[in-house]
Structure 1
Amino acid sequence: MTESTTRVAIVTGGSRGIGRSIASRLAADGFAVVVGYAGRKDLADEVVGDIETAGGQAMSAQADVGDEQAVTALFDAAETTFGGVDVVAHSAGTMPLATVADFDLAVFDELVRTNIRGTFVVAQQAARRLRDGGAVITLSSSVTALSFPRYGGYAATKGAVEALTLILARELRGRNITVNSVAPGPTATDLFFEGKDQDTIDRLAAQPPLERLGTPEDIAGVVAFLAGPQGRWVNGQLIRANGGII
Structure 2
Amino acid sequence: MDFFKTFYRFINNNITLSRLFLLWYMISFIIILTLSLIILKFTLKPIEQFAKEIDNINSNNLNKKIKVKWIPKELLIIKKNFNIILSRLYDSFQKINQFSEDVSHELRTPLHSLKVEIEVALQKERTNNEYKETLISNLEECNKIYELIDNLTFLAKTEKKDIQIKPDPFSISKEISYLVEPFEPIAEEKNLPYIFDRMYRVNNLNIKRNNNLGLGLSMVKNLIELQKGTITIQSEFEKGTTVTLNFPNCIQSI
TM-score by shorter chain over 0.5: no
Higher helix share: 2
Tell me the TM-score normalized by structure 1.
Answer: 0.20
Higher strand share: 1
The structure that has the greater radius of gyration is 2
Tell me the TM-score normalized by structure 2.
Answer: 0.20
